[in-house]
Amino acid sequence: MSDTTIPRFFWTFPMRLVREARLDEVLAEDERLRILFLWGKDCPNCDIAKGQILLTPERFRWPDVDWLHDNVYEDPQMGTRFGLHGIPAFLVFRGARKLGRIGQWPGPDAFVAAIEKQRAAEASAATG
**34: Cα separation from own chain's centroid:** 7
Q: Which pLDDT belongs to residue 14?
A: 85
pLDDT digits (tens, 9 = 90+) for 2-18: 444 557 888 888 899 99
Going by their DSSP bridges, the two strands 89-94 and 65-71 should be labelled as: unpaired
Closest to 122 in 3D by CA, of 82, 65, 69, 66: 65
Q: pTM value? A: 0.91
The angle, 0 to 180 degrees and rounded to 10, between the axes of the packed helices 108-127 and 44-55 is 70
Q: Which pLDDT belongs to residue 3?
A: 45
Inter-residue contact 33 to 65 (CB < 8 Å):
yes
Q: Which pLDDT belongs to residue 71?
A: 96
pLDDT digits (tens, 9 = 90+) for 83-125: 999 999 999 999 999 999 998 899 999 999 999 999 998 887 7
Question: What residue ranges define each of the domains in the chain, with the CATH number in brackets?
Answer: 10-127 (3.40.30.10)
Closest to 62 in 3D by CA, of 100, 9, 114: 114
Task: Give the model's confidence band at 128: pLDDT under 50 very low, under 70 low, under 90 confident, else very high.
Answer: low
